[in-house]
Structure 1
């Protein structure tokens, strides 16, 4: 007896090999898609951080440009009078990774905030210039020639939205250093 063999259809091995190839291609496509989604999410986070940094810089520049009198200052706090704030007293403080203006939270997720004060206009060479920048406002200074602001802004990660956080050395931050501000209308002390 002769058996009749049909060539219609696929063998079991052909179907298994095809399914394995489809699974492999789907897995690679899924990994690529996840990488794309992660990159897009990181880009959005960075865009949010840059937008927040612009807001911080603009507000601080407006405050410092319009200073008329400085009452006291350290590397993380300054109390002054400003035309920007209708000639009323203003205090900017950096504490616990946050900047406050008159005890009202202004921005969180900030690190390494530092204020420096230029104490003399006679510093022309680089060596003298470094000596003339101080971390503390001195009452004997008749005017603030310039202010120097430096800080970092960290992205707000979803796991920290309702928790207190500290910044690790591995976190990516956007750093702003040596933003120099020259007040327009500072009154001289008498």
Structure 2
């Protein structure tokens, strides 16, 4: 799936191929009865524009038509879910939009982490070749590598950001939401609590 999305414009991505790869992946790794309801979705606007649309809807202001931006498949890729009744009473389109924004953000962070890890491997292999050539010349001088230091700091930041969002924000709020569910007995209160739960991190 990564190969199908990498470096391609949204219009050149094969949606059916990506969907079939997602179906195969879910069939192999998950036994969830709702896995067949997961769909792929390609957006034609970036994450910032998506956030602006949500804020405009919530504030009841006029929504300006967002100018279409040329995005790659990785930037526009997201997941969608076919919510059946009566679950749709709680998980509505607004909730799904928040999940999609969160997914697009985390998905792109993982992509950046992968790129930085590839740079790390390239630096590692390049360093080995330089040391081998230096030994052949019978002198070896260690010099500080500014690019490697910058890559290390960037990778450290991205990994810590991903950890913070995944565990310190999402998981902690999910546990709080589960505890609050024990005090809920009406669907209206559940829907309100679920909406507030999503607003805490999305």
TM-score (norm 1): 0.29
Structure with the higher strand share, 1 or 2: 1
Max radius of gyration: which structure?
A: 1
Higher helix share: 2
For normalisation by structure 2, the TM-score amounts to 0.28
